[in-house]
Amino acid sequence: MTKTVRNRLLGFVLAAVIFAVDQALKWVVDYPLNMRMGDTIDWLPFFAFTRTHNHGVSLGMFTANSPEMRWGLVAVTGLIAIGVTVWLLRERKLGDILPLGMVLGGALGNIRDRVRLGYVLDYADLHFGAIRPFLIFNVADACITIGVLIILARSLFMREKPAETQSDAAKADQPAETH
């Protein structure tokens, strides 16, 4: 197995793990905890499980108020997941592949919710007193956000230097001409 194939496989394994953890936590909120919309269970002074339903996309925008809009969101997010998959298959470096795996795993978790439930189940409520720096989210949302931030940081700060050609190296070795 080549290094590139191994890296891509690791990206898909990461996506599958994120998908599984996301769905497992949503199952816990649904069944063993039997939480209903708006229920809250405090876990730490700064973290609670608070069940909410997101009928839109990021930050609740583009709310799906009809079955057509719901399936439209499924189609759009499905196309994005396909695009991320193609992108992942084109990359070679693990540092580029893993954040794409994070985005893919999160996207698949939220797509499954929207298909199965008609909304995305959110539950993670991070707060510091009355201050809530984020809306209520889930593992899938967190992985998508972190993956996108890593992709952006790598594209902005980790630019590759162009490969030096043999002719460039030969020119650098020659003494400078004087007139």
User: Which of the residues are catalytic?
Assistant: 122, 141
What distance in Å separates the CA atoms of residue 85 and residue 72, rounded to the nearest whole number? 20
Q: Please give the helix or strand (H or E) that residue 53 lies within, else none.
A: strand 47-54
Q: Where are the alpha helices (DSSP H) in the chain?
A: 3-30, 67-90, 94-117, 139-157, 166-173
With 0-12 / 13-18 / 19 or more C-beta atoms within 10 angstroms meaning exposed / middle / buried, residue 143 is buried
Using a 10 angstrom Cβ sphere, with 0-12 exposed, 13-18 middle and 19 or more buried, the burial of residue 36 is: exposed
